[in-house]
Amino acid sequence: MQSVSPQALKAMLGDGKELALVDLREELIYSQNHLLWARSVPLSRLELRFARLVPRRATRIVLCDDNDGLCQRAAEILARAGYTDIACLEGGVAGWEKAGFVLFSGMHVPSKAFGEYIEHETGTPSVSAGELDAMMRAGADLKVLDSRPFDEYSRISIPTGINVPGAELVLRVRDLVPSPDTTIVVNCAGRTRSIIGAQSLINAGVPNKVVALRNGTMGWHLAGLTCDSGQPARPPRLSDDGLAWARKAADSVARRFGVDTIDRGMLERWRSESDRTLYVFDVRDPDEYEAGHLPGALSAPGGQLVQATDTFAVTLGARIVLSDNNVVRAVMTASWLKQMGWKDVAVLPEAGSEKGRPADTVLGDIPQDAAIGAAELAALLDRDAATVIDLSPSPQYRRGHIAGAWFAIRARLDQALATIPLRGALVFTSEDGALAGLAAADTKGPARWLKGGNAAWAAAGYPLSTEPRMADEPLDVWLKPYERPNDNEAAMNAYLSWEVDLLDRIKADGTTHFRAH
């Protein structure tokens, strides 16, 4: 098994060549300490995610773990799938720290750190929750624009806030705020999307005073103020005048940050190049994507692509094409990616007509002869002749699972099986069955899997239970501060402090190539 020293990996991060640095540990473990540029792709779900995240089989790949054998297991899977340049980090994550290099906690750290960098370098103005509340009480002429996806906004929002996801801000602002005298306040849940959203409007030349709401909805809650929930406020239909203003503003931003526009012919030429990784992202609203998109394009709403770049583009140094029929959202997103250090980013001003989402390539074979249907499994359970193990993400398991099913994490399945009193047939399930099939394939001894998983079980009319049976800790998911069951406020304060502290930590790391102009 090829390995690389921490020093050699540090050199790779600065050599300008493509590199996929992949952390194989479960998400919660990853969130506690990881390399800045390591992307979280847990071994438990490697076969389901990897081909989409690292599409080019000749990509230079470095895997990291806790020096506990995950790398070797993953390397075997990837080699069988045709990946040819695979190495493991010597000594694992601890080896990186022992060599004197910096580790980071949290999720989406490069994007979060970038937001703090932008605020520091550009002086993005902001107001506190108390200041905004006082402005509202005084009847100030202001408009609150919430830059998160609609599902986050509808869960909790600032009073009077209108949902305008990040990449939509420049596109929608003239229709939403026609008067230059109105103060625009951009918020998110914490800091990053507030800062990037506010600075997007400033970069686009909006004549209004624009400020970020410091610490977002968490800051509002911590100030003792009441958030709204279930609000439906979304932007009105885009007007011709609003689009014309936005396109002119985006053109100025494109010139300022060197954002290039390509045509379909160039896209196809790039797709034919075997020596470069190409990501094609549709940065529009997900509903627009579903209605029609470029063949093979993945949905990556622009604000989220900037907010959590590591979940979309795993290969550092790859080429990125952003699709958007009205150009504005793609240009604004591209401008931020270029400032984050992605050199090869281009805009394609088209949408396409392909419906649905591209099917993910699964690495490995799922044994169809081991599949079991919902009715057959129900009959076994009625006779107490089956043990069901559910490999769904722990939040989904808690929301509903087959009665009596045990929660387990696939990469840690041997440990879980040692704790479960097995009776009858061993049957794996998961949210859609794919992971269950993979588990059945690599389990020692006879095992079955539920075809279609829990979705098929529920569709067949069988009930789901919420009574947990945990054969493992829920290490598979990092929960946001407001999702944690205990002491949300302490978690919120810790999270906000963590974001602010990132600026000093990335300086110590020394591998970022951020720029503000």
pLDDT of 517 over the 90 cut: no
pLDDT surpasses 80 at 260: yes
**What would the pLDDT profile of 328-352 be if each residue is shown by its tens digit?**
999 999 999 999 999 999 999 999 9
Query: In this structure, are 394 and 440 located in the same domain?
Result: yes
pLDDT at 173 over 80: yes
Q: What per-residue confidence (pLDDT) applies to 145?
A: 98
Q: Could you count the other beta carbons within 10 Å of the beta carbon of residue 354?
A: 15
C-alpha dist (Å) from residue 38 to 14, 21, 76, 151, 500:
14, 5, 20, 28, 21
The pLDDT score that the predictor gives to residue 278 is 98
- Decide which of 485 and 317 is more confident: 317
pLDDT band of 164, cuts 50, 70, 90:
very high
The model's confidence at residue 494, banded by pLDDT at 50, 70 and 90, is: very high
Percent of the chain's residues with pLDDT above 70: 100
The answer to whether 216 touches 188, Cβ cutoff 8 Å, is yes
Mean pLDDT of 63-68: 97
- 17 and 145 fall within a common domain: no
What pLDDT is stored for residue 468 in this prediction? 96
Pair (242, 152) in one structural domain: yes
Q: Which residues pair with 23 in a beta bridge?
A: 40, 64
- Please report which confidence band the pLDDT of residue 444 belongs to, taking 50, 70 and 90 as the band edges: confident
Q: What is the dihedral of CA 366, 372, 373, 378, to 10 degrees?
A: -140
Place of tokens 């605020």: 119
- Give the span between the Cα atoms of 259 and 346, in whole angstroms: 6
pLDDT tens digit sequence for 274-310: 999 999 999 999 999 999 999 999 999 999 999 999 9
488 lies in some domain: no
Tell me the average pLDDT across 20-31. 98
Calpha distance 111→321 (Å, rounded): 19
| One domain, residues 209 and 126 | yes
pLDDT for 445: 85
Question: Residue 140 pLDDT > 80, yes or no?
Answer: yes
What average pLDDT does this structure show over 34-38?
98
Instruction: Say if 261 falls within a structural domain.
Output: yes
Residues 21 and 45 in one domain: yes
Mean pLDDT, residues 11-22: 97
Range of the domain at 240: 113-250
Question: Over the chain, what is the mean pLDDT?
Answer: 96
CATH number for the domain that contains residue 409: 3.40.250.10
Average pLDDT over residues 192-196: 98
Residues 54 and 99 in one domain: yes
- pLDDT exceeds 80 at position 186: yes
| pLDDT, position 312 | 97
Where is average pLDDT lowest: 102-111, 159-168, 481-490?
481-490
Chosen domain end from 107, 122, 148? 107
Do 76 and 141 fall within a single domain?
no
278 CA to centre of own chain: 18
Query: What pLDDT is recorded for position 233?
Result: 84
Half-sphere exposure of 327 (CA within 13 A, CB side): 18
* CB contact set of 19 (below 8 Å; sequence gap of 6+): 12, 13, 37, 59, 60, 61, 62, 315, 316, 317
Q: Give the pairing of strands 315-316 and 19-23.
A: antiparallel
User: pTM of whole model > 0.85?
Assistant: yes
Say if 202 falls within a structural domain. Answer: yes
Count of domains in the chain?
A: 4
pLDDT of residue 360: 87
